[in-house]
C-alpha cells in the first residue's frame, strides 16, 4: 500500500483516478485532465499537495546551516515571511532538490518535493552536525494549493475576514502565519494563487469547505501540464544530481555574492562558469500532430544534439510542447525523433503561458 495524504478518502469519494506517485497514492484526475487544466487557467482549482515535504529549521545556527547548504542566499530574506526559490546542491553542483524557503518568526521553513524527503533530511542532518539547530519534519501538516485567476476571490467564501486580508496583502514569494495556519503566494501553474498549510487533523473539513464553496479539485495530471506551459522545471526531469542549475534555467536560484559565502557546490559552479556553460533549457513547439515526451532525442543541424526533459500536449495551445536540454548556441529550429521519424520543432523561450496569456 502506498502513502496517503489526509484527503485520500475524499479523493476516492470524488471519483478520482488514483496513481502511484513516487510511493504516494495521489489523484491523477477526477474525470477529465483537460477540463481540470482549463478550470485552473480560467477560474481556479485546489490541489492536494500534502505529499510534499515541509521542514522547520530553528535554533541559533539555523541561518548558518542554510547559508552553507542552499544555493540561494537566505541572508537576503530580512523580513519575517519573505521567501525565495532555492536548491540543495551536491559538491559537483548537481541539484539534490529544488525548494522554497521562508523566513519564519522563529527560524526558517523549507518546502520541497515528496520523493526527495529522505535524501533532503539526511543531507540537512549531515551538515547540521555540531551546530545549534533543530530540524523538524512537519508530518503533522496538510498542504493545499488553490490556483487560478479567481483563487483569492473564491477563498473569500471560505476564510475569515482576517485571513482574507492576509492573502489579499501577500506579495509573491511571501508567507504569513495566522494561528496554526500558514498562507503563502508562490504557485506552480503560471496563475495567481495561494498555498495554505494547516494541521492535518483539520484538513478533511477544510477540503470539504473548499469543494463546497465551488472550488474544483484538480489532480496531478493537470498540475503537470499547467507547470509545463508555465515553463516551470520538475525535479527528476528537468534537473537532477547530474545537472547544475545553469543547465536547467535556474540561474536565479544561485547567489554567488557575497564572494565569501562558501555554499556546497559553489566551486563546481564557478568552474562551469569559467569554462563556459555548454547546455541550456529551451522550449519546443511541435507544429505537426504528434506527442513530445521525456527522453526523446533532439538534433540541431550544424550545432549538435539534445534531449527532451519534459513534454506533453498543451491544452491551452492545442499543440505538443516540451522543455529540452540542448547546446547553448541552438537557434530557432530543430528536429525531434518520434517513433523512428524526425519531426521539425520550433525552438522558443521556455515559457509558453503565464497568467492566461500565450507567450510564444
What pLDDT does 1 receive? 66
Q: Are strands 175-178 and 107-112 parallel, antiparallel or unpaired?
A: unpaired
Tens digits of residue pLDDT in 200-218: 999 999 999 999 999 999 9
What pLDDT does 331 receive? 87
Res 240 pLDDT > 80: yes
Task: Enumerate residues 6+ apart whose C-beta is below 8 A from 35.
Answer: none
Strands (E), 59-140: 83-89, 95-104, 107-112, 134-137
How many CB atoms within 10 Å of residue 340? 5
Contact in structure between 87 and 250 (CB atoms under 8 Å): yes
Q: What distance in Å separates the CA atoms of residue 35 and residue 165, rounded to the nearest whole number?
A: 31
Tens digits of residue pLDDT in 114-168: 999 999 999 999 999 999 999 999 999 999 999 999 999 999 999 999 999 999 9
Question: Domain map of the chain by residue range?
Answer: 1-229, 245-358
Average pLDDT, the chain: 97
Compute the average pLDDT of residues 334-357: 96
What predicted TM-score, i.e. pTM, was given to this entire model?
0.96
What pLDDT does 3 receive? 94
Class of the CATH domain delimited by 245-358 = mainly beta
**What number does CATH give the domain 1-229?**
3.30.1360.120
C-alpha cell at 105: 518568526
Band of pLDDT at residue 220, cut at 50, 70 and 90: very high
Compute the average pLDDT of residues 165-191: 97
Compute the average pLDDT of residues 277-297: 96
Q: What distance in Å separates the CA atoms of residue 228 and residue 238, rounded to the nearest whole number?
A: 11
Compute the average pLDDT of residues 172-177: 97
C-alpha cell at 247: 543547465
Distance of alpha carbon 156 from the chain centroid: 25
- Contacts of range 165-170, beta carbons closer than 8 Å, 24 or more positions apart: 167/194, 170/194
Tens digits of residue pLDDT in 299-323: 999 999 999 999 999 999 999 999 9
Tens digits of residue pLDDT in 330-343: 989 999 999 999 99
Compute the average pLDDT of residues 64-76: 98
Query: Terminal CA-to-CA distance of the chain, rounded, Å?
Result: 43
% residues pLDDT > 90 (the chain): 98
Amino acid at each position: 500500500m502506498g502513502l496517503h495524504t489526509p484527503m485520500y478518502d475524499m479523493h476516492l469519494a470524488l471519483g478520482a483516478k488514483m496513481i502511484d506517485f513516487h510511493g504516494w497514492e495521489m489523484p491523477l484526475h477526477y474525470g477529465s485532465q483537460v477540463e481540470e487544466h482549463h478550470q485552473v487557467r480560467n477560474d481556479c482549482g485546489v490541489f492536494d499537495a500534502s505529499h510534499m515535504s515541509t521542514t522547520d529549521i530553528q535554533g541559533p545556527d539555523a541561518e548558518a546551516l542554510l547559508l552553507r547548504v542552499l544555493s540561494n542566499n537566505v541572508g537576503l530574506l530580512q523580513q519575517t515571511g519573505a521567501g525565495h526559490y532555492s536548491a540543495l546542491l551536491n559538491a559537483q553542483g548537481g541539484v539534490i532538490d529544488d525548494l522554497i524557503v521562508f523566513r519564519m518568526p522563529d527560524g526558517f521553513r523549507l518546502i520541497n518535493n515528496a520523493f526527495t524527503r529522505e535524501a533532503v533530511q539526511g543531507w540537512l542532518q549531515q551538515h547540521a552536525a555540531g551546530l545549534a539547530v533543530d530540524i523538524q519534519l512537519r508530518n503533522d501538516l496538510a498542504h493545499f494549493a488553490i490556483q487560478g485567476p479567481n483563487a483569492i476571490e473564491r477563498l473569500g467564501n471560505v476564510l475569515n475576514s482576517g485571513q482574507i486580508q492576509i492573502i489579499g496583502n501577500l506579495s509573491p514569494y511571501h508567507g504569513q502565519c495566522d494561528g496554526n495556519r500558514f498562507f503563502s503566494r508562490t504557485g506552480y501553474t503560471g496563475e495567481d494563487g495561494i498555498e495554505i498549510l494547516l494541521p492535518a487533523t483539520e484538513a478533511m473539513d477544510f477540503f470539504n469547505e473548499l469543494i463546497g464553496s465551488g472550488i474544483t479539485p484538480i489532480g496531478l495530471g493537470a498540475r503537470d501540464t499547467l507547470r509545463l506551459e508555465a515553463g516551470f522545471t520538475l525535479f527528476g526531469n528537468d534537473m537532477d544530481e547530474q545537472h547544475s542549475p545553469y543547465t536547467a534555467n535556474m540561474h536565479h536560484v544561485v547567489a554567488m555574492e557575497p564572494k565569501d559565502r562558501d555554499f556546497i557546490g559553489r566551486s563546481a559552479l564557478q568552474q562551469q562558469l569559467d569554462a563556459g556553460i555548454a547546455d541550456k533549457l529551451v522550449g519546443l513547439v511541435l507544429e505537426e500532430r504528434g506527442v513530445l515526451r521525456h527522453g526523446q532525442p533532439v538534433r540541431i543541424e550544424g550545432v549538435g544534439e539534445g534531449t527532451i526533459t519534459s513534454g506533453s500536449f498543451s491544452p491551452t495551445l492545442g499543440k505538443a510542447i516540451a522543455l529540452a536540454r540542448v547546446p547553448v548556441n541552438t537557434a530557432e529550429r530543430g528536429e525531434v525523433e518520434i517513433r523512428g521519424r524526425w519531426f521539425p520543432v520550433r525552438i522558443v523561450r521556455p515559457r509558453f503561458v503565464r497568467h492566461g496569456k500565450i507567450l510564444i
